[in-house]
Every structure is written in C-alpha cells, then in structure tokens.
Amino acid sequence: MARITVNNIYRGNRSFNNGPLFTDRGNLTNGNWLILKDFIPKNLLKKALTKSGPIEPHRLWKNINKAKPATFLAEEADCFIFTFDGGVEQEEIVFLKKYILFFRKWIPIFSIKASGSQEPACIYSDSELAGLLMPYRL
C-alpha cells in the first residue's frame, strides 16, 4: 500500500518525524491526520512541536461540502475499510486502524465523511467538523 500523506498535499518537504506540528491556522497535524484546534486532546498539546509548522493549502479543504457519510465495511490486519456513496456507485476508502482508533477515542460522537477514495476524509464530532484523515491507497 502506498501512503497518501498531508506532506503530499503540502508544498515543501516538512518532516513530521519528531511529532505533530501546529499549522499556520493553529490546527495540529502529523502528516496523516489534521485535528482542528478546538478538538486537540490535551495529551497531544504536550507532544506538539511549537516551531513554525506547515501552511494549510486551500485545496486540503476543497471537497468538504461534497463529502458523504462513510460506513464501516471491514477490518484488515492494520486497516479499516469504509464505504461511501461515490455518486454512481459505492466507493471504498481505507484508513490505518491506529488512526481510526485514535479519533474514536478522542473525538466525541465520531463519524467519517468522504468525497473520494484518494481525498482527505472529514472527521466529525456529531455534526461539527473536527479534522481530516488521509486515506491509504491499495
């Protein structure tokens, strides 16, 4: 599986190897997920690097309004597979299990919406946008 990361969307070669970084908008990212500042768990605040982080490009947020609710479909060894309405037919989107478990733990009333199998998925707390999660390609 090839990994799609926020690094691929951000211009430049920022490294997230030392921990999550704050973006220019005050959100937190590790390169695979992004949590909006109002939903950042306190334990992550301690781990977050305070140095200047990446700039959030507008295209990272471009498909939020097109996102459809995703439903759990299957579990693999290290991944969860979800399905969503892709317009003509159901599409599948794959995420690393550890990130889904992380969001389920820290985001109340957790749900996912997706607009494409290769696009960032929207993480919601009830009906409020809480962050983004990058999918894995199979």
- Dihedral (CA of 99, 45, 48, 133) sign: positive
Helix, strand, coil % (nearest 5) of the chain? 20, 35, 40
The pLDDT of residue 51 is 55
For the chain, give every domain's residue range. 2-10+19-45+60-137
38: helix, strand or coil = helix
Under DSSP, the state recorded for 36 is -
Sorting pLDDT into bands at 50, 70 and 90, what band is 84?
very high
pLDDT digits (tens, 9 = 90+) for 28-77: 888 889 999 999 888 787 777 665 566 777 777 788 888 999 999 999 98
Distance CA(99)–CA(7), nearest Å, equals: 16
3-class DSSP assignment, residue 7:
helix
